[in-house]
């Protein structure tokens, strides 16, 4: 048979696209070489959230203990936690498989390659050839490494290997101070590990507003993290059961484990893409305004290099399925894309940063802000460092970012506010519950605006 749609990759993008398309009545086959759920479920967002959830009481207790209100000890059994993670992932994959079955989607296990307008899937039981009317490539991304920074799987790990560890190290060097590295470092910190963070840039979380980076650094330094910025790493390796990092100055650092989290790149190798007329640019699949890489071929999620976030992939999936089903004909519009660093502190961002807005509009860019210290919920959790900042352009909200206790809860209202381009007058239209951390967003919206210069 010829499927209305073949999807390669069953991560958040591919899975959702298959499900959505089946919901439109299309016949769908979904190809996956590894696990249902992709990186996000199996080696990314979900396991780290289970780690953070399991250890959140440690941070809460720590904060109250500093206020001399609480005392005690919490022991998280890492082996039990890893068992729980594996069980959770297996359960979720099983539920996903059931969902596919319920939707009548054919799951084809193996590596999918394009060949003469068909997809040839090489699995354990030989080859399956899938004919399609439409193809969606959603193969995602994987960790990438600069020369010399390749993990050896012993004491030098990538994020996949780190999440599969059997014991938490007592000392950890994280190379790369992006969200992935910082979330994992937070978890290791809660388990009592001594943390060193190394980055070539001059600040942690270098994609964020510089003030957010500064606030994070100040909080991490209170935890006695060693933060080494503007440092070039020439090599990482395992020597006699220890992880050794060498800077280009030939200085070295040692720890139980090194996590290399310097970035992720698209998975496009050996798939016959270029032979099929699909254009690659730095390994990314180039797509047009309809997320199409070639006639009737779409590329969604990390693999098209637009943005590496599961929910962005899911949103593109919804569009691609609608487009294929003929329910949408306009170009793809993502709207503002929320991003979150979880933990304690958290970071949230949506829309433009102050600098991005100033580059686009140096005339009317303004910022207004509120400190979490003034918020009763932050105070109740004895975690008052941090702030919320609103970026305005032409009198409208174009971006919101925040750092501190529980600020992830601001991201959905902030996404709606940026999308709707609120003006100062809109602020009074929505009632914010009191007390709530959400009020820090309201305070920032109502605060005096200062022109960016």
Within residues 362-381, the interface with its own copies by CB under 8 A covers: 376-377, 379-381
Owner of token pair 């500093």 = 66
Query: What does the alpha-carbon distance between residue 121 and residue 299 come to, in Å, rounded to a whole number?
Result: 18
Nearer to its own copies, 166 or 240 (CB): 166
Q: What are phi and psi of 239, to 5 degrees?
A: -125, 115
Of the candidates 24, 62, 428, 434, the residue annotated as catalytic is 434
Nearer to its own copies, 182 or 271 (CB): 182
Query: What does the alpha-carbon distance between residue 335 and residue 10 come to, in Å, rounded to a whole number?
Result: 24
Name the minimum Å distance from CB 416 to its own copies. 5
Nearer to its own copies, 309 or 403 (CB): 309
Part in contact with its own copies (CB under 8 A); list of ranges 68-76, 138-146, 213-221, 260-268? 68-76
Name the minimum Å distance from CB 447 to its own copies. 12
Binders of its own copies in range 376-435 (CB under 8 A): 376-377, 379-382, 408-409, 411-413, 415-416, 419, 428-435
| Contact call for residues 340 and 348 (beta carbons, < 8 A) | yes
Binders of its own copies in range 84-113 (CB under 8 A): 84, 88, 92
Beta-carbon contacts of 102 under 8 Å, excluding residues fewer than 6 positions away, are none
Q: Considering the rule CB under 8 A, would residue 77 count as an interface residue with its own copies? A: yes
Q: Which of 214, 216, 218, 209 is nearest to 367 (CA)?
A: 209
Q: Considering the rule CB under 8 A, would residue 71 count as an interface residue with its own copies? A: yes
Beta-carbon contacts of 376 under 8 Å, excluding residues fewer than 6 positions away, are 435
Name the minimum Å distance from CB 433 to its own copies. 4
With CB under 8 A as the rule, give the number of residues binding its own copies.
Answer: 71
**Buried (b) or exposed (e) across 398-411, using 16+ Cβ within 10 A?**
bbbbbbbbbbbbbb
The sheet with strand 233-239 has its strands ordered as 233-239, 242-247, 252-255
Q: Which of 35, 33, 141, 28 is nearest to 97 (CA)?
A: 35
Q: Considering the rule CB under 8 A, would residue 81 count as an interface residue with its own copies? A: yes
Q: Which of 342, 152, 344, 140 is nearest to 259 (CA)?
A: 152
Binders of its own copies in range 31-60 (CB under 8 A): 40, 45-46, 49-50, 52-58, 60
How long, in residues, is the chain?
A: 453
Q: Considering the rule CB under 8 A, would residue 291 count as an interface residue with its own copies? A: no
Q: Considering the rule CB under 8 A, would residue 1 count as an interface residue with its own copies? A: no
Query: What does the alpha-carbon distance between residue 131 and residue 116 come to, in Å, rounded to a whole number?
Result: 10
Instruction: Out of 102, 335, 394, 395, point to the residue binding its own copies (CB under 8 A).
Output: 335
Part in contact with its own copies (CB under 8 A); list of ranges 77-85, 111-119, 125-133, 242-250? 77-85
Q: Considering the rule CB under 8 A, would residue 300 count as an interface residue with its own copies? A: no
Catalytic residue check, 428: no
Residues noted as catalytic: 434
């Amino acid at each position: 048979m010829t499927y209305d749609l073949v999807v390669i990759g069953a991560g958040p993008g591919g899975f959702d696209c298959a499900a959505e398309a089946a919901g439109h009545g299309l016949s769908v086959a979904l190809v996956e070489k590894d696990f249902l759920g992709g990186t996000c479920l199996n080696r990314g967002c979900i396991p780290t959230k289970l780690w953070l959830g399991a250890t959140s009481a440690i941070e809460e207790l720590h904060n109250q203990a500093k206020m001399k209100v609480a005392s005690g000890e919490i022991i998280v059994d890492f082996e039990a936690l890893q068992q729980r993670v594996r069980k959770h992932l297996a359960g979720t994959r099983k539920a996903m498989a059931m969902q596919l079955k319920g939707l009548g989607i054919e799951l084809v296990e193996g590596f999918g390659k394009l060949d003469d307008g068909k997809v040839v899937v090489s699995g354990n039981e030989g080859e399956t050839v899938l004919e399609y009317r439409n193809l969606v490539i959603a193969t995602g991304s994987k960790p990438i490494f600069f020369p010399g920074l390749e993990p050896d799987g012993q004491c030098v790990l990538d994020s996949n290997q780190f999440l599969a560890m059997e014991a938490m190290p007592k000392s950890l060097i994280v190379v790369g101070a992006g969200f992935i590295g910082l979330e994992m470092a937070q978890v290791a910190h809660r388990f009592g590990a001594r943390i060193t963070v190394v980055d070539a840039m001059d600040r942690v979380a270098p994609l964020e507003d510089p003030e957010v980076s500064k606030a994070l650094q100040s909080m991490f330094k209170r935890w006695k993290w060693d933060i080494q910025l503007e440092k070039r790493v020439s090599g990482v390796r395992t020597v006699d059961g220890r992880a050794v990092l060498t800077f280009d100055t030939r200085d070295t650092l040692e720890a139980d484990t090194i996590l290399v989290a310097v970035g992720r790149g698209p998975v496009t190798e050996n798939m016959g893409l270029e032979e099929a007329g699909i254009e690659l640019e730095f390994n990314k699949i180039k797509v047009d305004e309809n997320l199409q890489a070639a006639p009737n071929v779409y590329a969604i999620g990390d693999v098209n290099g637009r943005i590496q976030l599961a929910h962005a992939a899911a949103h593109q999936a919804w569009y691609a399925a609608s487009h294929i089903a003929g329910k949408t004909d306009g170009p793809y519009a993502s709207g503002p894309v929320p991003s979150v660093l979880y933990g304690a502190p958290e970071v949230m961002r949506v829309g433009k940063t102050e600098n991005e807005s100033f580059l686009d509009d140096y005339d009317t860019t303004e910022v207004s802000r509120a400190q979490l210290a003034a918020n009763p919920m932050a105070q109740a959790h004895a975690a008052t460092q941090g702030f919320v900042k609103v970026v305005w352009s032409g009198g409208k909200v174009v971006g919101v970012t925040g750092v501190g206790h529980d600020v992830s809860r601001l991201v959905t209202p902030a996404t709606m506010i940026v999308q709707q381009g609120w003006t100062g007058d809109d602020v009074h239209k929505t009632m914010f519950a009191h007390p709530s951390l959400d009020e820090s967003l309201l305070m920032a919206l109502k605060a005096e605006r200062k022109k960016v210069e």
